[in-house]
Chain A
Amino acid sequence: AQSVTQPDIHITVSEGASLELRCNYSYGATPYLFWYVQSPGQGLQLLLKYFSGDTLVQGIKGFEAEFKRSQSSFNLRKPSVHWSDAAEYFCAVEPGGYNKLIFGAGTRLAVHP
C-alpha cells in the first residue's frame, strides 16, 4: 500500500536559519508529489508540486523541494526561515494520477526569534 512518512513531528529553528523537512514515500512507480502548509485554523495551501522533469522544484514563499528517486524522498527546503513560516507542513503523494492524495502525518515547525 502507498504511504508517506514524515519522520520529524516537531522541528524548531531560529529565524534566518536554513530548513529541511523530510518526506519519504512508498509507491511502486513515481507518484505525483506535493507539499502543503497549514497555518493554525486554516486550510491547506499548496507550496509546490512535482509531476515529472526537473527534480528540483521551486514553490511559493521561497520554498523548494528535491525529488530523489533512489531514496524515495521529496524533502522540502528553505535557505532562510522567517517567523511567519511557523506552521504545519504536510507531504502528500497522489499515486498515478488517481486523484487520491495520501498525506504524511505532518511536521510542525516552530521558529525562534
Chain B
Amino acid sequence: DAGVIQSPRHEVTEMGQEVTLRCKPISGHDYLFWYRQTMMRGLELLIYFNNNVPIDDSGMPEDRFSAKMPNASFSTLKIQPSEPRDSAVYFCASSSGTGQNQPQHFGDGTRLSIL
C-alpha cells in the first residue's frame, strides 16, 4: 500500500517567493497533519484536518502560512511570502481516526531552503 506522499522532496527558493508543499494522505485516512522540523524547535504540529476541515491551526506560525485540504486525497501548505527562517523539513502525516490503534503515518518530508 502506498504511504503518505509528499512533493517536492526538496525545494530551494529565494526569499519573498511563494512556496507550495503538497501531500497525499493514505487512502481512507480522515485525519491529516502538517508538522515542521527544525534544529531549534524540533517537531512541531502546525495544523491538522479532519474530513477535510481544519480542526486546529494554533501551531501555524503566522499569516504567511496557510493550509488547505480541498478533498480527501490532497492537501497543500503554502508560505507567501517565504523568509529564510522558514527553512525546515515539513512533514505530512495521516491517520484513520482518534483513539487506540490509530497512529499517525508520516511521509518522507519536504526539505525547504529559503535563500
Contacts and interface: CB of A to CB of B under 8 A. Distances in A.
Interface of A: 32, 34, 36, 41-46, 49, 51-52, 90, 97-106
A99 B95 contact: yes
Nearest to A46: B103
B71 interface: no
B49 to A, nearest CB: 11
23 contacts: A32-B100, A34-B103, A36-B106, A42-B108, A43-B91, A43-B108, A44-B91, A44-B106, A46-B104, A46-B105, A49-B101, A51-B101, A52-B100, A97-B99, A99-B31, A99-B33, A99-B48, A99-B50, A100-B45, A101-B45, A103-B42, A105-B42, A106-B42
B25 interface: no
A43 B56 CA distance: 22
Given A99-B31, A103-B43, A43 B100 contact: no
B46 to A, nearest CB: 11
A103 B48 CA distance: 15
A32 B100 CA distance: 8
B45 A98 contact: no
B19 interface: no
A45 B98 CA distance: 18
A97 B98 contact: yes
B67 interface: no
The 8 closest A-B pairs by CB, nearest first: A43-B106, A103-B43, A44-B106, A51-B100, A43-B108, A97-B98, A99-B98, A105-B42
